[in-house]
Structure 1
Amino acid sequence: MTVGRIGGGAVALRTARAFAVLAVRMLLLGPATAAAWLRGRSLARDVWLADTVVALGPAFVKAAQLLSTRADLLPPRVCRALSRLHDQVRPLPPSALPPALRFGTGEPRLVGAGSIACVYRVVLPDGRAVAAKVRRPGIVRSLTADLAMLEQGARLMARLPRLRGVPVTAVAAQLTASIRAQLDFAREAESLEGFRKALGEVDGVTVPGVRPGLSTEDILVMDFVDGLARRRPEDLGEEERRNAVVAALRAVYRMLFLDGVVHCDLHPGNLYFRADGSIVVLDAGFTVRLSGSAREKFAAFFYCMSQGDGEACADIVLSTASAAPGADTARFRTGLAALVAEHTGRSAADFDLVSFAAKLFDLQRAHGLHADPQFVFPILSLLVLEGTVREFHPDVDFQREARPALVTALMERVVAEPREAR
C-alpha cells in the first residue's frame, strides 16, 4: 500500500493538538482522580495515564507499549498501567467493522485491541476458528501525522550538544518507516509466513499461519491459536519459565543472526508464554530487515562480546561507523575493551543492556565516531525482550544462549566467502 506524506502545516497542527490534549488531561487529573477515589477506585491515576496515551495518538501508544516492558527504567506501577495498551486499547465499535469480516458464522469476538488494529476470533462455516486483524479506520492519516511529528522532533533533538554524533535523525527515520510499514498488511503477511517457516526449526515456538484467501488490504486473517493468556512468573513452574525464556531468546537470535530480521515489537501482547514452557509469537508488522553486511557485522560483534574480546568488538564498530575529523580511535578502542570486559558473561539479572548501549553510543560520540543506524535496531529488539526475560528467568545468560545461532551464522559466512570469490 502507498502511504502519503504529511505537509509541514499538518505536522504543526498535529503537534499543537498533542500539547492541547496533554494540557487538558493534566487539568482533569485532579478532579478525575478525586471523583474516582470517591467511587472507590484506587487505580485512577493508572487509568488516567493509559487513557492519556491513547488520546495522544497511535504513535504514542506504540512508544508506551515498548516502554511498558522496562521496569528497570520506569516504576513497576507505571509499567503495569501501560501494559494494558498491549492489547486493551479502546476497541472498534460494532458499526465500524468492515462487511468483509462477515465471512464467518455468528458474531466476531474481540480478543485484542492495539494501536493500529483490533483482532477478532471468527468461526468459519466449516467450524474452524481464525484470527482476523482489522485495521482501524482513519489510522493511515493519524499515524502518518504522528510519525511526521516525531521525525521533526528528532531533527530538533539532533541539534543538542549532548546528541552530536548520535544518529538521531537517521534512527528516527528508519524507526518511523518501520512503524509506518505496520499499516501494510500484505507486507506483514509475507513477514509472518517467513517467521513461521524459519522458526519452525526452533523447538517450542509456534507462529500462526496466514490465510491469504480471506485477507484483504484492511484485514489480515491468520490461524487462531487457542489457550493464549497473559501469564505472570508465578503462573509457571521454574522449568517452564526457563524453557519459555530460552525458546524466546533462540527465536530472536535465529531471526536476527541467521535471517537478518529484527522483530522490534516482542512485548507481552505479541509474545505469549504457555503453561508447558513453549511460546507463541504473534504479529510481524513492526520488523526491520538488516542489510547483509549489517547482519554479519552485528553477529560478529555479539560473538566477540560473548568471548570477551573487546579489541575485536572495536574493530567491528570502527568498520561500520563513520569518523569525524579528529576522531580518537585509539581511546575508543581502550574504552570499548573495558566496557566489554565489564559486561561479559553476566546473567540477565546483572547484564544491563540499557546501560551497555548508552555507554557504547557515548563512547562513539565522545571520540568522534558516528554510529551505523542499523546497529540500533537489534539493540531495540533485545531491549524490549530483556524486560520479560529478567522477570521470568533472571539467571539466563543472554550471551551464552546466542552462541549456537552465532556460530551457525559465522560458519555460513565462511562457507559463502569462497563462492563469492569465484
Structure 2
Amino acid sequence: MAVKVQRPDLHRIIGKDFAALSYLVALGEGLFPRLRAFDLPVIVREFANSLERETDFRHEAHSMVLIRAALADVPDFWIPDVIAEASTGKVLTMEYSAGERVDLYGKNHPEAMPKAINTLVKLMLHSIFEEGLFHADSHPGNVFVLPDGRLSLLDFGMTGELDEAMRESLTRLLEAVVNGDARATTEAYLEMAPANEQVNRAALVVDVKAVLYEIHRHSLADASIGNAFEALLRAGSENGVHNPGEFFLLTRAFIILESMIRQLSPGHDYMKSFQEEIARRKAQHFSLGRIQDKTTRLAREMERLFSDAPSDTRRILRRFAEGNLGRVQSPGMEALGDRVSNNLERLASSVAFGSLVVGGSLLLFAQMGGWHHRLGEAMVISGILGMVIRSLGAWLRNRRRP
C-alpha cells in the first residue's frame, strides 16, 4: 500500500499566501484598471478553491473512487483503490502502484509511446464528456506504466467537474475550433460562460477569428487545444466575458496533457487521436438512444405544457378579474382566457413540430448516412406535415367563427 501524509500547518501557510496574492491583485487592478479585463480575482479564487480541494484528502479519495468506477472498463488502464478505513482528511491510504514514471519508461521503450498517448487522449476525453469529472494535473509524475504495460493515473487532488449542459457546449466548441469556424466557436464559448450584457460580441468574433487563424495557418498536427483555449479565455476577458472557473481548469488540463505528449513523442500526431475521439463523441451524440432520450424529455415537457397552460391561464385571468376588478362575473374575461389557452396550445404544438424539423435537419447535415439519414428525413417530413395540418385547422376554425 501507499500512504500520502499532509505536511503540518499547510492550511495556515496557504491562507497567508492567498491573502497576500489577493491583496496584490486588488492593488494591481486599482493602479492599472486594464487588468480588470483579465478576471484575475476569478483566477486567484479558482486557484485557491483548487488548492483547498487538493489539501483535503477526503475530496481526493472521493474523486479517485468516482473516476476509478467510471473508467473501470477502459482497457490498458488502472487506478489504485482507496483504503477508506485507513484514510482521513490529512492521510490518504491507497493501493500501491508498482510502476515507472511514463517519461522514464518512454526513454527505454519509445515504441510503446504512441499507444500510451492514444490511451491518455481517450481517457481525458472520456472522463470529460462521459463523466464530467476529469484529472486536471496529468503531468509525467502522475502517470505510471505498470509492469504489464497498463497505464496508472495518480494524484487526484486537482480535478474539474462539468455539468451536462457545459459538456454539450464544449463538444460544439471543440468541433468549431478544429473546423476553424469563428462564429460557431464564439457562440459555443458564450454558452459556457455566464451571461453578461457587457460582452462585445462583434469584437469577440474578430478576436476569435485571429485565434483560429493562428491555429490553422500551420499544420493541424502542430496545433494545441490548450493554447487555443488559453487564447480564447484571453479574448473573452478582453471583451467582457466572465470566464467560469471550470474553463480555467480545463485549459490547464489540456496544456499539461499536450506538454507531456510532446515530451514523450515529439513527432506524434496528437490532433489525429483527438479528432478520432471527437468523431466518436459526435456519433454518440446522434445515436438512436440519445435521440430517443432527448425526444422523450421533449415530449414530457410538451405534455406538461399542454396540460398545465390552459388551466394556469384561466386561473390567472380569474384572479385578475376577481381581485383587481372586484368579485365580478365577466364572461368576456373567461372568453379571453379560452382564446389565450388555445393560442398557447397552438404555440406549443408549433414548437414541437419546429423541433422535429430542426432535429431532423441536424441529422441530415451531419451526413452520417444509414439510419441517421432516414431518421432525419422522417423527422423533417413529420414536422412539416404537423405544421401544415395545424395551419389548416386554424384556417378552418377562423372561417367558422362568426
Equivalences for residues 302-341 of structure 1 within 5 A: 302-321=174-193, 322-325=195-198, 327-341=199-213
What corresponds to 1:171 in structure 2? 43
What amino acid is the match of 1:206? W
Change (3 A) 1:368 1:143: closer
TM-score (structure 1 length as normaliser): 0.61
Q: Aligned partners of 1:315 and 1:150: how far apart in 2?
A: 33
Q: Which residue of 1 aligns with 2:166?
A: 294
* Alpha-carbon contact 1:314-1:337 (below 8 Å) kept: no
- Within-5 A mapping of 1:45-194: 130-159=1-30, 160-194=32-66
The total of aligned residue pairs comes to 292
For 1:148-297, list aligned pairs within 5 A: 148-159=19-30, 160-229=32-101, 231-232=103-104, 235-274=107-146, 278-297=150-169
- Per-residue deviation, 1:364: 2.2
Distance 1:400 1:163 in 2: 36
Asked if the contact 2:142/2:155 (under 8 Å) is kept, the reply is yes
| Corresponding residue SS for 2:74 | coil
Matched, 1:406 2:278: no
Deviation string 1:307-338 (CA, Å, 9 cap, x unpaired) is 3333211111233444454x431242243245
Change over 3 Å in CA distance of 1:369–1:177 after alignment to 2: closer
Matched with 1:53 is none
Percent identity over the alignment is 25
Distance 1:251 1:347, change over 3 A: farther
Give the TM-score normalised by structure 2.
Answer: 0.64
Structure of larger gyration radius: 2
Q: Give 1:223 deviation, angstroms.
A: 0.8
CA distance in 1, matches of 2:15, 2:181: 43
Instruction: State the Cα deviation string for residues 254-286 of structure 1 (Å, max 9, x = none).
Output: 111221123222122212245765321012111
Show structure 1 runs of 4+ deviating over 6 A.
345-349
| Secondary structure at 2:223 match in 1 | coil
Whether the 8 Å contact between 1:347 and 1:396 is mirrored in structure 2 is no
- Pick closer, same or farther for the CA change 1:348–1:415 going to 2, 3 Å: same
Note if 1:418 corresponds to 2:295: yes
Instruction: Go from structure 1 to structure 2 and tell me whether the alpha carbon gap of 1:180 and 1:244 turns closer, same or farther (over 3 Å shift).
Output: same
Bigger fraction of residues in helix: 2
CA-CA distance at 1:388 after TM superposition: 0.7
Q: How does 1:362-381 map to 2 (within 5 A)?
A: 362-381=234-253
Report how far residue 174 of structure 1 moved: 2.0
2:144·2:151 contact (CA, 8 Å) conserved in 1?
yes
Once the two structures are superposed, what CA deviation does each residue of 1:371-420 show, in whole Å capped at 9, x if it has no partner? Answer: 33332211111112221111112322333154156336734865543343
Instruction: Give 1:389's aligned residue.
Output: 261
**Aligned partner of 1:298: which letter?**
L
After the TM superposition, which of the residue ranges 195-204 and 364-373 deviates more from structure 2? 364-373
How far apart, in 2, do the equivalents of 1:417 and 1:406 lie?
16
1:134 maps to a residue whose letter is V
Pick closer, same or farther for the CA change 1:376–1:396 going to 2, 3 Å: same
Residue in structure 2 matched with residue 66 of structure 1 by the alignment: none
Q: Compared with structure 1, are the counterparts of its residues 334 and 414 closer, same or farther at alpha carbon in structure 2 (3 Å cutoff)?
A: farther
After TM superposition, give the deviation of residue 158 of structure 1 in Å: 4.4
Name the aligned partner's letter for residue 336 of structure 1.
V
Q: Residues 229 and 375 (structure 1 numbering): CA distance in 2 closer, same or farther, change over 3 Å?
A: closer
Alpha carbons of structure 1 residues 361 and 186: separation in structure 2 relative to 1, 3 Å: closer
Alignment partner, residue 120 of structure 1: none
Q: 1:370 aligns to what SS in structure 2?
A: coil
**TM superposition shift of 1:212:** 1.2
Name the aligned partner's letter for residue 418 of structure 1: T
CA distance, structure 1, for counterparts of residue 291 and residue 250 of structure 2? 22
**Alpha-carbon contact 2:5-2:91 (below 8 Å) kept:** yes
Structure 1 residue ranges without an equivalent (≥5): 1-129
Q: 2: CA distance between counterparts of 1:337 and 1:264? A: 28
SS of 2:144 mapped into structure 1: strand
Shift of 1:304: 2.5
Q: CA 1:268/1:155 → structure 2, altered by over 3 Å: closer, same or farther? A: farther
Q: Cα offset for 1:136?
A: 1.7
Asked if structure 2 preserves the Cα contact closer than 8 Å seen for 1:185 and 1:218, the reply is yes
* 1:82 alignment counterpart: none
**Cα distance change of structure 1 residues 270 and 164 upon mapping to structure 2, 3 Å threshold:** same
Distance across 2 between alignment mates of 1:185 and 1:176? 16
Q: Unpaired runs of 5+ in structure 2?
A: 301-402
Change (3 A) 1:406 1:135: same
Change (3 A) 1:245 1:213: same
Equivalent pair of 2:226/2:258 in contact (CA under 8 Å): no
The CA distance in 2 between the partners of 1:347 and 1:256, in whole Å, is 26
Amino acid in structure 2 at the alignment position of 1:279: L
Between stretches 376-385 and 315-324, larger displacement belongs to 315-324
C-alpha contact 1:262 1:377 (8 A) present in aligned 2: no
Provide the rounded CA distance (Å) in 2 between the counterparts of 1:409 and 1:171: 34
What is the alpha-carbon distance in structure 1 between the residues aligned to residue 200 and residue 296 of structure 2?
37
On the 8 A contact 1:241/1:277 being kept in 2, the answer is: no
Going from structure 1 to structure 2, the CA distance change for 1:170 and 1:281 (only over 3 Å counts) comes to same
